[in-house]
């Protein structure tokens, strides 16, 4: 059974089926070749002889065939690029769609649409965007209704079976909780064949709380789409789903259920809440973080700054559950802050960019918060899902962009020869003779240039603090 990790994020809008586009009578599109069950993610118009380098995949490629010389090769390149379908506009270049193009599309299984003369390509693109907007609206409404249904189920006397039942009903399949060894803990929804249950157990073995393990996995079995999500309650439980479809909205709905089930199955929830309340009271009454932190768990602590999700408190709670901590701050200016006690490993999370501090004791949490913010900026700049704090001396405490800007302003009065002479002189601890040898100039020239630097910068170069500041500035450049 093939196993794949769940996608990190959903596309901005659901794709549009060709059948829905063909149903728009105002466009007058006609299917000439290929299947109608293809999905279009966007529309692209190109009159290039070879559009391959300009395609991302999933497009409805529109062309009038201005440079169509070899239909077979053209279709081959379009298929290699992963385009979803080809739309061919008749007139002014061709009165009809070339038969060789129809034959090539049929041979490669590429859907081919005839665009009549009265239909501009922009009208087709606008129709696709409108259909996407309608689909997105329906998807959001479905997710909202599912969230309300799951929240209502979580408030019932037997919340876990109620949430599973509501989830199975919304997805039109089966929802089950599994223990870490693959034993079915609770289930609801339609019955599934034994091979589906076996396939779900295999997926349970893929996810889990072990370091480096994925938070979710998906596959196929018994003709159904399967998905398994690790719960964040610390008990090694996993949510298994089996349904005939798996759309972006289904993944979002499952994420809501994961958060609720993680909270419902977490051990000693009442004791945890009481401990957090007690720590908060201590802080409000004047205790230091070092005095209040032991009530929340053992140190050292790791601060996490995260950016991603959909900007809601629910997505922040989902992230907290995945990282195994209840200590999470609501999103502020697009970022989420979390506090991880000892023993919690920080791993990349789908759909999020994370910055992690070094583990610190409670008295250094403020410094760790700054470390995490700086690590998040580095992760975003390098486009990596997780960046950890890396000690780099005093120079590493300064923001590189701000340091470079200050250095340019500070050293602006100096010309290139003066800058290089100052750099060499500082690196050689102000030794005139060694600087002269290093630059292959006379020692009097070195003295004149350094004196000129002091005048232009209006600084006392005999002052150790001034020398240190200039050395940092030269390094920043």
In this predicted model, what pLDDT tens digit does every residue of 342-400 receive, in sequence order?
Answer: 777 888 888 889 999 989 888 888 888 888 988 888 888 788 899 888 765 555 556 66
Which residue from 194, 318, 185 is spatially nearest to 240, judged by alpha carbons? 185
pLDDT at 115 over 60: yes
**pLDDT for res 234:** 57
Measure the CA–CA gap between 62 and 337, rounded to whole angstroms: 46
- Stretch 22-28: mean pLDDT: 94
Tell me: domain 400-476, CATH 1.10.10.2840, correct? yes
Residue 48 makes CB contacts below 8 A (sequence gap 6+) with: 54, 67
Closest CA to 335 of 289, 369, 362: 369
How far is the C-alpha of 473 from the C-alpha of 201, rounded, in Å? Answer: 59
273 or 130, greater pLDDT: 130
Domain ranges of the chain: 30-118, 140-265, 298-391, 400-476
For range 249-263, the mean pLDDT: 87
Q: Is the pLDDT of residue 123 over 90?
A: yes
Query: Is 268 exposed, middle or buried (CB count within 10 Å of its CB: 0-12, 13-18, 19+)?
Result: exposed
Q: Which CATH superfamily is domain 140-265 in?
A: GAF domain (3.30.450.40)
Give the model's pLDDT for residue 167: 92
More confident residue, 334 or 460: 460
pLDDT for position 70: 96
pLDDT at 209: 54
Say yes or no: domain 298-391 is CATH 3.40.630.30: no
What are the phi and psi torsion angles at 326 (to 5°)? -90, -5
Number of Cβ atoms within 10 Å of the Cβ of 460: 10
CATH numeric code, 30-118: 3.40.1390.20
301, 333 contact by CB (below 8 A) = no
According to DSSP, the β-strands at 224-230 and 112-115 are unpaired
pLDDT at 272 (0 to 100): 58
- pLDDT category at 8 given cuts 50, 70, 90 is very low
Cα–Cα separations (whole angstroms), residue 460 to 226, 434, 447, 455, 468 = 72, 21, 14, 9, 12
pLDDT one-digit tens code per residue, 29-55:
999 999 988 999 999 999 999 999 999
Selection from 9-13, 60-64, 186-190 with the highest mean pLDDT: 60-64
* CB-CB contact of 389 with 414 (8 Å): no
Which tokens belong to 234?
Answer: 């610390």
pLDDT, residue 281, reads: 75
Q: Which of 162, 140, 139 is nearest to 151 (CA)?
A: 162
Whole-number percent of the chain with pLDDT over 90: 30
pLDDT of 398-433, one tens digit each?
A: 666 777 788 888 888 888 888 899 888 888 888 998
Q: How confident is the model at residue 5 (pLDDT cuts 50, 70, 90)?
A: very low
Percent pLDDT > 70 in the chain is: 88
133-157 pLDDT, tens digit each: 888 888 888 888 988 888 888 887 7
pLDDT tens per residue, range 211-234: 556 788 888 888 889 998 988 765
Out of 187-191, 265-269, 342-346, pick the least confident.
Answer: 265-269
Q: What is the mean pLDDT of residues 257-283?
A: 71
Domain 30-118 and domain 140-265 have a common topology: no
Per-residue pLDDT at 208: 61
Distance of CA 36 to the CA centre of its chain: 32
| Residues 275-305 pLDDT 10s | 677 777 777 777 777 777 777 777 788 999 9
Residue 159: burial class (beta carbons within 10 Å; 0-12, 13-18, 19+)? middle
Mean pLDDT for all residues in the chain = 84
Angle 401-402-404 (CA atoms, 0-180°, nearest 5)? Answer: 65
| pLDDT for 45 | 95
What is the C-alpha separation between 353 and 305, in angstroms, rounded? 8
Average pLDDT over residues 264-269: 62
């Amino acid at each position: 059974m093939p196993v794949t990790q769940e996608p990190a994020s959903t596309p901005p809008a659901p794709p549009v089926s060709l059948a829905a586009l063909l149903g728009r009578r105002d466009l007058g599109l006609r299917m000439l070749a290929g299947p109608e069950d293809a999905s279009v993610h966007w529309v692209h118009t190109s009159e290039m002889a070879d559009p391959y380098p300009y395609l991302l995949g999933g497009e409805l490629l529109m062309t009038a065939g201005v440079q169509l010389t070899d239909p077979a090769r053209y279709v081959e390149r379009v298929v290699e690029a992963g385009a979803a379908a080809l739309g061919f506009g008749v007139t002014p270049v061709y009165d009809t769609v070339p038969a060789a193009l129809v034959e090539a599309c049929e041979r490669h299984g590429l859907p081919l649409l005839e665009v009549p003369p009265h239909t501009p390509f922009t009208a087709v693109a606008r129709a696709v965007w409108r259909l996407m907007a309608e689909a997105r609206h329906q998807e959001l409404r479905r997710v909202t209704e599912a969230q309300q249904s799951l929240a209502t189920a979580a408030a019932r006397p037997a919340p876990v079976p109620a949430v599973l039942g509501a989830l199975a009903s919304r997805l039109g399949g089966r929802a089950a909780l599994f223990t870490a060894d693959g034993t079915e803990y609770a289930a609801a929804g339609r019955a599934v064949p034994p091979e589906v249950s076996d396939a779900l157990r295999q997926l349970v073995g893929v996810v889990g709380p072990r370091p480096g393990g994925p938070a979710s996995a998906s596959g196929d079995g018994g003709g159904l789409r399967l998905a398994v999500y690790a719960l964040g309650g610390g008990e090694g439980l996993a949510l298994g789903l089996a349904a005939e479809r798996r759309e972006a909205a289904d993944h979002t709905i499952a994420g809501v259920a994961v958060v609720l089930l993680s909270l419902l199955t977490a051990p000693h929830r009442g004791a945890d809440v009481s401990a957090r309340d007690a720590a908060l009271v201590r802080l409000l009454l004047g205790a230091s973080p070092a005095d209040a932190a032991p009530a929340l768990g053992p140190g050292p602590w790791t601060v996490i700054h995260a950016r991603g999700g959909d900007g809601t408190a629910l997505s922040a709670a989902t992230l907290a559950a995945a990282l195994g901590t209840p200590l999470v701050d609501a999103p502020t200016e697009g970022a989420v802050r979390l506090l991880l006690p000892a023993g919690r490993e920080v791993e990349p999370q789908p759909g999020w960019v994370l910055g992690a501090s070094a583990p610190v004791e409670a008295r250094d949490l403020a410094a760790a918060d700054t470390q995490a913010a700086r690590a998040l900026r580095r992760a975003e700049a390098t486009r990596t899902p997780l960046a950890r704090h890396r000690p780099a001396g005093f120079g590493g405490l300064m923001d590189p962009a701000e340091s470079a800007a200050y250095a340019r302003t500070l050293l602006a009065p100096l010309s290139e020869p003066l800058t290089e002479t100052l750099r060499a002189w500082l690196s050689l601890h102000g030794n005139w003779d060694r600087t002269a040898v290093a630059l292959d100039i006379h020692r009097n020239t070195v003295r004149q240039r350094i004196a000129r630097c002091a005048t232009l910068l209006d600084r006392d170069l005999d002052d150790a603090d001034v020398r240190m500041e200039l050395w940092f500035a030269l390094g920043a450049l």
